[in-house]
Amino acid sequence: MKPVHNFFHIVFFLLLAELLYSQTPASKNQFRSPLDIKMYLSGNFGELRADHFHSGIDIKTQGVTGKKVYAAADGYISRIKIEAAGYGKTLYITHPDGYMTVYAHLDRFIPKVDKFVRDKQYQEKKHALNIFPPKNEFQFKQGDLIAFSGNSGYSFGPHLHFEIRETASQYPLNVLLYGLEIEDNTPPRIYSICIYPCDEQSYINNINEKQFFPVKEVNGSYHLINNQNIILTGKIGFGIEAYDLMEGSPNRCGLYSIELLIDSIKHFSMRMDKFSFNDSRYINSFIDYEEKQKNNKNIHKTFIDQNNLLNVYNETKNSGIAEFLDDDMHSITFILKDAYLNATQLNFHVTSQSINQVSNPVKNNDYLQLMYWNTINTFERDDIRLVIPQRALYKDIQFTYSKSGIPAGFFSMVHHVHNIYTPLHLPGELYLKPVNLPDSLNDKAVVVNANNNGKWQYAGGEWVNGYVRTTILQFGKYAITVDTIPPTITPLNLDGSADMKDRTSIRFKIEDDLSGIQSYEGYIDNEWALFEYDAKNNLLFYIFDPDKITRGKNHALELYIVDNKDNISFYYTEFYW
């Protein structure tokens, strides 16, 4: 009886460990909602974004700005950041128990914090700041008013971005595990699966290319459409297209966990509890990057590339790659969960086929050279040099290159550097040699690359020993042109008389046609003035401040806008306020 007794003890403790791990890691009362309205989310933790995982939750603010934002727990403001893009106006509150909370895309802070920030901005004569106040400067109790919600930075609709972090590591934590009152009774939804051959001797239905299989839901149960017959040979990886939904919101959110079982044995699992910001770009290996670029599909891969060091994976065999070398049938099970443990399951069967039974294998040898993920890779021709550092690739690639004619207004041929469907984790160095570029324009030369829509966009560039050098974080089409055109400045609310006495602000649209805005400065009556820049709307504005300028008189205004190739625009006007 003793072995049986020990067996049940082991099972009990394993189940207990799993239960404890899945429960809220902090007290239910440790953090309160940062808003006093019912929480509906437009984005959740770990959601798949461009080149990064979402590090918090996005709380809807009923379509308006100005909702009161409260301290989620006792603590002090340890950091205040102001930027034209990114998080916009952001507060960081450090708590005494090893946690930090972050409140982003704010409209404004409470008055004493606003004044502190404004004084710093005038001292440093800068709009964008990163401030670390003394610990005793701004202390709050849980529920104290700290700010007002907004739409600042790269926010494309009013909401509050809220994070919980480990203070020491600065790892963002899954906010949904910390007891906030968010209703979620909806399990994840599955749309399709994708099956991948992981080498040239592996096949799906006799084809050495990935294959998609659509999924349908019937009465809450998921099945492959038409119960397709799937024959697998060799080393195979799986992927799944799925999203989570939450009550009160149509937004597609990220999954909390994925498990893949083969013949009822766990083969792969991941869980989105936390991650490092330094690792967030591994998302481009976590998903099927090619499918995202081609068709905007988010396919979660359940196998791990050689250079994917993301820390969300656990209990994974052979990096998630399964070998199908026999002639038997095998069961495949996906189990998907959200943070509230609502679960969805997909079951299907595949038939394994030994490699010597495969007919008409298809192989692709159309490439220029092999590049390896764990070495420095260099590619060079007369007019191009490319250096890809070690660990910039997620796996070995068959590198391709070609070039085409010189577009009008350009000073190089178009270099087709591999393809846009292969991601880079670290920046590579690209050197392009210009054609017929006048010496007088060397310092105005830039590298441009074509985006997914074929539009040329700025990719940096500096003149180095006869080449235009830049760093790249993606493959694609690259060429040389020049940026000699300064930014444009357009007044938005100056009428013909320039009478601003009934206005609260003066606003301008500032735009640059290529390299982008590098800096902006405004002066009123020869004194530096706090002009704020909203990059997403190309908006530069000054809120009239009676402490800085005198009411009831004429004022002289000067603006200096500089782009990234040092082209300068100057604007002067007079107004009455």
Condensed to tens digits (0 to 9), the pLDDT of residues 112-133 reads 999 999 999 999 999 999 999 9
Domain boundary among 429, 462, 482: 482
Show the beta-strand stretches assigned E in 364-486: 369-371, 377-381, 384-388, 397-399, 401-404, 414-417, 423-432, 445-450, 456-458, 462-464, 467-474, 476-482
Q: 468 and 383: one domain?
A: yes
Q: 93 and 213: one domain?
A: no
| Residue 452: CATH number of its domain | 2.60.220.30
Q: 236 and 341: one domain?
A: yes
Residues sharing a CB contact under 8 Å with residue 395, sequence separation 6 or more, in sequence order: 305, 306, 307, 373
Coil/strand/helix, residue 145: strand
Alpha-carbon separation of residue 456 from 193, 441, 566 (angstroms): 34, 19, 20
CA 115/CA 137 separation, integer angstroms: 13
If pLDDT is split at 50, 70 and 90, which confidence band does 25 have? Answer: low
What pLDDT, on a 0 to 100 scale, did the predictor assign at position 2? 38
Token representation of residue 546: 């009676």
Q: 164 and 197: one domain?
A: no
Q: 67 and 168: one domain?
A: yes
Residue with tokens 């690359």: 449
What pLDDT, on a 0 to 100 scale, did the predictor assign at position 17? 40
Token representation of residue 370: 């092999």
Q: How many angstroms from the chain centroid is the CA of residue 7?
A: 46
For the chain, what percent of residues have pLDDT higher than 90?
89
Which stretch of DSSP H or E encloses residue 117?
helix 111-124
Statement: residue 13 has pLDDT above 60:
no
What pLDDT, on a 0 to 100 scale, did the predictor assign at position 368? 85
**Domain contains 363:** no
Q: 96 and 169: one domain?
A: yes
Coil/strand/helix, residue 289: helix
Q: 56 and 166: one domain?
A: yes
Domain boundary among 417, 450, 482: 482
CA 401/CA 502 separation, integer angstroms: 60
Statement: residue 7 has pLDDT above 70:
no
If pLDDT is split at 50, 70 and 90, which confidence band does 365 have? Answer: low
What is the domain range of residue 155? Answer: 41-177
Statement: residue 417 has pLDDT above 90:
yes
**Domain contains 332:** yes
Q: 237 and 353: one domain?
A: yes
Token representation of residue 383: 């007019």
If pLDDT is split at 50, 70 and 90, which confidence band does 1 have? Answer: very low
Q: 331 and 429: one domain?
A: no
Look at 54-58, 69-73, 177-181 and tell me which has the smallest mean pLDDT: 177-181
If pLDDT is split at 50, 70 and 90, which confidence band does 134 have? Answer: very high
Residue 267: CB atoms within 10 Å: 21
**Domain contains 497:** yes
Q: 476 and 493: one domain?
A: no
**Domain contains 16:** no
Q: 322 and 196: one domain?
A: yes
Residues sharing a CB contact under 8 Å with residue 247, sequence separation 6 or more, in sequence order: 40, 183, 184, 185, 186
Question: 98 with 91: CB under 8 angstroms?
Answer: no
The number of domains in the chain is: 4
Domain boundary among 450, 466, 482: 482
161 secondary structure, DSSP code: E
Show the beta-strand stretches assigned E in 296-454: 299-301, 313-314, 322-324, 329-337, 343-352, 369-371, 377-381, 384-388, 397-399, 401-404, 414-417, 423-432, 445-450
Question: 467 with 518: CB under 8 angstroms?
Answer: no
**Domain contains 419:** yes
End-to-end Cα, the chain, rounded Å? 92
Residue 425: CB atoms within 10 Å: 21
Question: 418 with 400: CB under 8 angstroms?
Answer: yes
Q: 336 and 399: one domain?
A: no
- Global pTM reads 0.92
